[in-house]
Structures are given as structure tokens and as C-alpha cells.
Structure 1
Amino acid sequence: MIDVLTVSKQRGGRTLWEDLTFSVDAGEVVALTGPSGCGKSTLLDCVGHIDRVDSGTIRIGGVDAGRSARRARLLRRDHIGYLFQDFGLVHDATVGANVDLARPTGRGRRRGLSTGAALEQVGLGGRSSARTHELSGGEQQRVALARLLVKQPSVILADEPTSALDADNAALVLDRLESFAAAGAAVLIATHAPSVTRRAARVIALRDARDHRGGP
């Protein structure tokens, strides 16, 4: 589902990673680890076609967007979902409106849950009319999870999704990510948290691009 092939990236004259190759299969949860500044978030942005690699190829579901902005936009729209450390919500909009933003459009799109059903599944069934800035950090990440339930992406990219959460909300996020993988999504998580890496099928140590099995 995700194929990263001999990619390299420099930033500010410094090489973040060079000739990096790995894959994430459908139904798999893979964690990216490494010290701060090693390029974990940048790599997620490149996989998500928000940023571009300097060289190499990234394929999503066999599709290489190359340098085509249109193809990259279609991949983001049709196949990729995100969980951001800062939640990535529109803070002056309601909870329901934020979830509706993820709703698929057009023919042949995968149909996820309704907004109401998605909010019920993440424990926010009564908060659709609330403004997102009124919510706690854990509740805001639940809104982001509800967006994924509505969109049902085939690829999920999560950047430190538990770092600002308490233990209960962090466990809920990980449970949901595992559920998405069980349903066939490829899940790639950038993290420094041992509680996350322990639950990953594999861990990629970005500093030296080692790829090894995770789990207990």
C-alpha cells in the first residue's frame, strides 16, 4: 500500500535521510522512531504528498504522483487520512462541521460512517454543536478520529498522535488505529513513545533506517 523507494531529503543543507526504502502493507501498523530533528514528520509529509522528496519514489496503492500536483491532490483526497499532533482542526467551526469536512465526494468513493455515527463511536455523540476550541486535547483528537471514520482512507499517517494525551485517550487512539489496520488500512505512525512502538507490527528506526519487528 505504501512503498518508499530509495528516497532522500535535505533540509537547511543537512541530509535528513538518504536512499531510504521501506513499505507498509495493507492491514499493518508501522512505527517510525528516531531522535528529534531526524525527519520523522518530514517523511510523513512526503508520504502524504504534502512535501516532496529530493530523489526517489513514493507510491500509494501503486500510484506514483511524481511531480504532478493534481495526482498528489487526488491521492490526498481519495486515499490518505491524517492524525496530527496539533489535531489539525478548524477551531472556530463546530465539531460536526469539522467531521463533515472529511466526507468523501464523487462516484466510486468508499463510504464511511455518518457524522453522527462516527462521533458516537469516539464518545462525542452529544458534542456535534460544540466549538472545537471548547474541547480538551483528548476530545479534539477524538474529533480527528471521527473524521477518519467518515473518510475511511486506505492509508493513515499519524504524527505523534498520543503525545499530548492522557493514558486513556492515548489508548483509545491506538485502539482505533489498530481497528483501521484490521479493516485493511496501512497505518504509519511517527512517534517517540514506547507505548506506541510496543503495539506496532514493525518499527523503523529512522536514524539508521533499520527496520525490525515490534510488538511485545
Structure 2
Amino acid sequence: MIDVLAVSKQRGGRTLWEDLSFAVAPGEVVALTGPSGCGKSTLLDCVGHIDRVDSGTITIGGVDAGRSARRARLLRRDHIGYLFQDFGLVHDATVGANVDLARPTGRGRRRSTSTAAALEQVGLGGRSTHRTYELSGGEQQRVALARLLVKEPSVILADEPTSALDDGNAAMVLDRLEAFAADGAAVLIATHAPSVTARATRVVTLHDRRDRGAA
């Protein structure tokens, strides 16, 4: 589902990665590791078509957006879901409103999981009218997971999704990401956490090119 082929990227005059290739198939959870500054988050942004590589190609389900902003937007809308370290929620909106932001729209869309059902699945049943800022960090990440349940993306990109969580909530996040993969999603996680890499299907390691060779 994710195919990264011979990609290179420079940032601030420094090469982050060069001629990098890997793939993430449906059903896989792949951990993206490496020291701070090696470009893990930038690579996730490129895979998610938020940023662009300098050379090479990244395809999602065989689709290469190239330089088309419209095709990139459609890929993000139709195929890609995100899980961020800072949760990526609208803090003054309700829990239910945050979940509904991810709901697929448009004619011909299949009926997705209801907001109430998604919140029940992540242990937040009955909390839809609460404001996001009233929740703990672990609860906010559960809201972000509920958004993925509603969107049902074929690709999930997670940037350090457990770093701000206690052990219980971190384990719940990994359980849910594994469940998404079991349902056919391709999951790519940028992480420093050994507890995450230990549960991954495979690990892709980026090296800091200021000190070592290319990934």
C-alpha cells in the first residue's frame, strides 16, 4: 500500500536521507526509527503527501500524486489517517465534534462507524459532549483513535503516538494500531520507543547523516 522508491530530501542545506526505499504492505505495522534530527517526521509528512521529496517517488495504493496538489489532497482525504504526538485535536471543540471531523463525506461513501460506537471502542463511551481540553493526554489520544475508526483509512501514519502516554494508554494505542493492521491497513510509526519497535512487523532505521552514512 505504501511504496517509497529511491527518495531523497534536503532540509536547511543538509541531506536527511538519500536513495531511500522501503514498502509497507496492508496488514503490516512498520516502525521508523533513528536518532533525533534524522528526518523521521519529515519522511512521514512526505509519505502523507503533506511535504514533497526532492527526488524519487512515494505511492499510496499505486497512486503517485507527483506535483499535483489536488491529487495529494484526495489521497489524504480518501486513504490516509494520522496519529500525532500532540493528538492533533481542536481543544475547544467537543469530543464528538472532533471525531466527526474525520467522517468520510460525499456521494457514494459507505456508511462508517458511528461516533458513539467509535468512542465506546476506545473506552470513552458517554463522553461525546465533553470538551477536549477537559480530557487527560491519554484520553485525548483515544479520541484521535476514534477518529481513525470513523475514517477507516487504508494507511495510518503515527508520529511518536505513545511518547506522552503512561504505559496503560501506550499499550492501548499499540493494540488498536495492530487491530487496524489486522483489518488491512498499512501502518507506519515514527518512534524512539523500544516498546513500539518490539511489536512492529519490521523496523526501518534512518541514520543521522551528520555523523553516519545514509539510511
What's the TM-score, normalizing by structure 2? 0.96
**SS of equivalent to 2:4:** strand
Matched-pair contact (CA < 8 Å) for 1:78–1:109: no
Partner of 2:137: 137
**SS of equivalent to 1:117:** helix
Supply the RMSD in Å over aligned alpha carbons. Answer: 1.0
| C-alpha deviation, 1:108, in angstroms | 3.9
Partner of 1:38: 38
Partner of 1:161: 161
Q: Aligned partners of 2:112 and 2:73: how far apart in 1?
A: 20
Partner of 2:90: 90
Partner of 1:2: 2
Question: Share of identical aligned residues, percent?
Answer: 88
**SS of equivalent to 2:203:** strand
| Counterparts in 2 of 1:209 and 1:122: CA distance versus 1, 3 Å | farther
CA-to-aligned-CA distance 1:115-138 (integer Å, 9 cap, x gap): 000000001112100110111000
Partner of 1:123: 123
Partner of 1:172: 172
**SS of equivalent to 1:109:** coil
* Count, aligned residues: 210
**Which amino acid is the alignment partner of residue 77 of structure 1?**
R
Q: Aligned partners of 1:36 and 1:111: how far apart in 2?
A: 41
| C-alpha deviation, 1:107, in angstroms | 3.3
Q: Aligned partners of 2:200 and 2:112: how far apart in 1?
A: 24
| C-alpha deviation, 1:110, in angstroms | 4.7
Matched-pair contact (CA < 8 Å) for 1:10–1:16: yes
Structure 1 residues 102-121: aligned runs within 5 Å = 102-121=102-121
Partner of 2:65: 65
**SS of equivalent to 1:199:** coil
Matched, 1:182 2:182: yes
Matched, 1:80 2:43: no
**SS of equivalent to 1:30:** strand
Q: Structure 2, unaligned stretches of length 5 or more? A: 208-212
CA-to-aligned-CA distance 1:98-156 (integer Å, 9 cap, x gap): 00000001234354310000000001112100110111000000000000000000000
**Which amino acid is the alignment partner of residue 22 of structure 2?**
F
Partner of 2:21: 21
**SS of equivalent to 2:32:** strand
**SS of equivalent to 1:72:** helix
- Dislocated runs of 4+, deviation >6 Å: none
| Counterparts in 2 of 1:162 and 1:110: CA distance versus 1, 3 Å | farther
Matched-pair contact (CA < 8 Å) for 2:18–2:214: no
Q: Aligned partners of 1:26 and 1:83: how far apart in 2?
A: 18
Partner of 2:147: 147
**Which amino acid is the alignment partner of residue 196 of structure 2?**
V
Q: Aligned partners of 1:169 and 1:126: how far apart in 2?
A: 19
Q: Aligned partners of 1:202 and 1:40: how far apart in 2?
A: 16
| C-alpha deviation, 1:160, in angstroms | 0.2
| Counterparts in 2 of 1:111 and 1:180: CA distance versus 1, 3 Å | farther
Partner of 2:210: none
Q: Aligned partners of 1:127 and 1:209: how far apart in 2?
A: 47
CA-to-aligned-CA distance 1:77-111 (integer Å, 9 cap, x gap): 00000000000000110000000000001234354
**SS of equivalent to 1:133:** helix
